[in-house]
Amino acid sequence: MGRLFIRRAYYPGSGEWEALCSRPETSYEDVRMSVDRIMDTVRSQGDSALFTYEKEFDKAYLQTLEISMEERDRFIVETGILMSDDLKEALSVAARNIRTFHEAQMPFPQRVETMPGVTCWRKSVPLEKVGIYIPGGTAPLFSTVLMLAVPASIAGCKEIILCTPPSPNGTVHPAILYAARLAGVTRIFTVGGAQAIAAMAYGTESVPRCHKVLGPGNTYVTYAKQRASMDGTAIDMPAGPSEVMVLADGTARPDFVAVDLLSQAEHGSDSQAILVLVEPDTVKADAFLDYVDTWLERMAGESGRLGYISSSLGHSRAIVVKKMAEAVGIANLYAAEHLIIQTEMPVDYEKEITNAGSIFLGSWSPESAGDYASGTNHTLPTGGWAHSYSGVSLDTFYKKITVQELSREGLERLAPTIVAMAEGEGLQAHAQAVRTRMNLLRETIPQGGKT
């Protein structure tokens, strides 16, 4: 088979880090026209366009787009062979952990008196309708159903709409249906691809218009979400190919490192896996990377997804540095979706990480734990967006509204400040809104009197 992990960089200067942290180029030019056409057609033709596109792209000749509650239960029973008791139990455990972690994020309003008589606070209001997209291509991502719908349910979203592509016979994977029932999804539609994003963004006769659209997908789905955001529908975050960075030193196990790299590489051919090894001795570094290569070859052949892995590792790399400070610097520059720290004292370095979607500490914290069942959310910023974006959390499903209440005395104290600033900006009506109230106070309150 030959070594999968081809590229190695030894002791690069800081000026070389940016090039080594480059990601595979993703161009939407080849999909832009197609997605724009789909989005515009769904917007103008509604359900009719969805039936047409499902026939064209998913080879599904549908009579209806929505799966009723009764149909959900029937599909689960009829395809029970695909839903083992072990899988049902696993989904239940994962849902419970995800719920526990996200319930701890419940917001509590804090009232602040900024000055006597001036009270301010902020309230969290759940989004009424959210749409989640679950891909059905290379793998049925039923775990993402839990990651998105569980916190939406905790937040109190009234409608949680799920769209996922159907099989040619019009059904979806039973584990997706089972997870949807566990997580509190209210409605499910058999619609996939860019047309599903359009349906949730614009609304059709069957699919409600959603206030926010979330979920992963291929380049068509990714661009469709970007287009939806430009048209006024909120999205969870910019998305791109999945990625992992592993920081390791000589205490790390090469087989653990290799399997963590592979677990991300198997997501797709455009995924990226980067290893940063802290080892000042070149001979020892070579020996470690040779071990990693050996394990990569061995485990990649057993994965059943060798095509994706080979392509993904083709634009992945190993970077060898002399000091942990350099490894941390590279990690903060790259801003990985998943950052695994397999070093002697990982907690010491976690404090220095400022850019990452999710961090996994130590040899016993594989990235797959966060992907499925530890409780943290696996919907994370990719493509370097971890510099400025957070992963999905309970806050994702709230909007924040500020409130202020001023007493007469409070406004009287604050009036000179407001008037001076309004006049300074040349906004006389703003100043007059305060003066009018102050004039009323002078007319109704006798000199030296109190209300």
**How far is Cα 204 from Cα 183, in angstroms, rounded to an integer?**
24
Question: Is 102 within any annotated ligand binding site?
Answer: no
Strand 272-278 versus strand 338-342 pairing type:
unpaired
Q: How far, rounded to the nearest angstrom, does the alpha carbon of residue 89 sit from its chain's CA centroid?
A: 25
**Residue type for 268, please?**
G
Are residues 138 and 267 located together in one domain of the fold? no
CA dist 127 and 160 (Å) reads 10
Distance CA 274, CA 293 (A): 13
Q: Is 308 annotated as a binding residue?
A: no
CATH number of residue 16's parent domain: 3.40.50.1980
Does 440 reside within a domain?
yes
- Based on the domain organization, do 150 and 95 belong to the same domain? yes
Do 218 and 114 lie in one domain? The reply is yes
pLDDT in tens, the chain (451 residues): 445 566 899 999 999 999 999 988 767 788 999 999 999 999 999 999 999 999 999 999 999 999 998 888 887 777 665 678 899 999 999 999 999 999 999 998 889 999 999 999 999 999 999 999 999 865 689 999 999 999 999 999 999 999 999 999 888 888 999 999 999 999 999 999 999 999 999 999 999 999 999 999 888 999 999 999 999 999 999 777 889 999 999 999 999 999 999 887 676 677 888 999 999 999 999 999 999 988 888 877 666 566 667 676 777 899 999 999 999 999 999 999 999 999 999 999 999 999 999 999 999 999 999 999 999 999 999 999 999 999 999 999 999 999 999 999 999 999 999 999 999 999 999 999 999 999 998 887 655 544 4
Q: Tell me which of 243, 337, 367, 378 is the catalytic residue.
A: 337
- Domain end residue (candidates: 238, 259, 283): 238
User: Is there a binding annotation on residue 173?
Assistant: no
Rounded-to-integer distance, Cα 203 and Cα 232, Å: 13
Structure token pair of residue 210: 């959603």
Beta bridge partners of 339: 245, 359
Last residue of a domain, one of 375, 395, 423: 375
What gap in Å lies between CA 438 and CA 435, rounded to an integer? 5
Say whether 378 counts as a known binding-site residue: no
Enter the tokens of residue 151.
């916190």
Same domain, 296 and 183: no
- Catalytic residue check, 337: yes
φ/ψ of 373, rounded to 5, equals -145, 0
Distance between CA atoms of residues 248 and 278, nearest Å? 6
Residues 40 and 131 in one domain: yes
φ and ψ at residue 255, rounded to 5 degrees: -70, -35
Q: Is 290 flagged in the annotation as binding?
A: no
156 within domain boundaries = yes
Give yes or no: residues 197 and 141 share one domain.
Answer: yes
Q: Which amino acid would we find at residue 325? A: A
Q: Which two tokens stand for residue 3?
A: 């070594």
Same domain, 208 and 86: yes
Give the CATH number, domain containing residue 439.
1.20.5.1300
269 annotated ligand binder: no
Half-sphere exposure in the Cβ direction for 149 (13 Å, CA): 31
> Is 133 labelled a binding residue?
yes
Q: Total domain count for the chain?
A: 3
Q: Are residues 224 and 291 in the same domain?
A: no
Residue 349 labeled ligand binder = no
Determine, yes or no, domain membership for 450. Answer: no
The answer on 134 and 198 residing in a single domain is: yes
DSSP letter for each residue of 136-152: -SSS--HHHHHHHHHHH
Residue 285: inside a domain: yes
The answer to whether residue 164 is domain-embedded is yes
Say if residue 33 is in the same domain as residue 21. Answer: no
| Residue numbers of the domain that contains 170 | 29-118+127-238
Cβ atoms of 380 and 357 within 8 Å: the answer is: yes
101, 192: one domain: yes
Residue 176 CA to residue 162 CA, distance in Å, equals 10
Q: For residue 396, report the phi and psi dihedrals to the nearest 5 degrees.
A: -60, -30
Instruction: Confirm whether 263 is domain-assigned.
Output: yes
Confidence (pTM): 0.92
Domain boundary among 186, 220, 238: 238
391 found inside a domain:
no
Among candidate residues 102, 211, 315, 338, the one labeled active-site is 338
Looking at the domain assignment, is residue 327 inside a domain?
A: yes
- Please tell me the predicted confidence (pLDDT) of residue 451: 45
Q: Are residues 288 and 233 in the same domain?
A: no
How many Å separate Cα 126 from the centre of its chain? 18
User: Are 120 and 407 in contact, with CB atoms under 8 Å apart?
Assistant: no
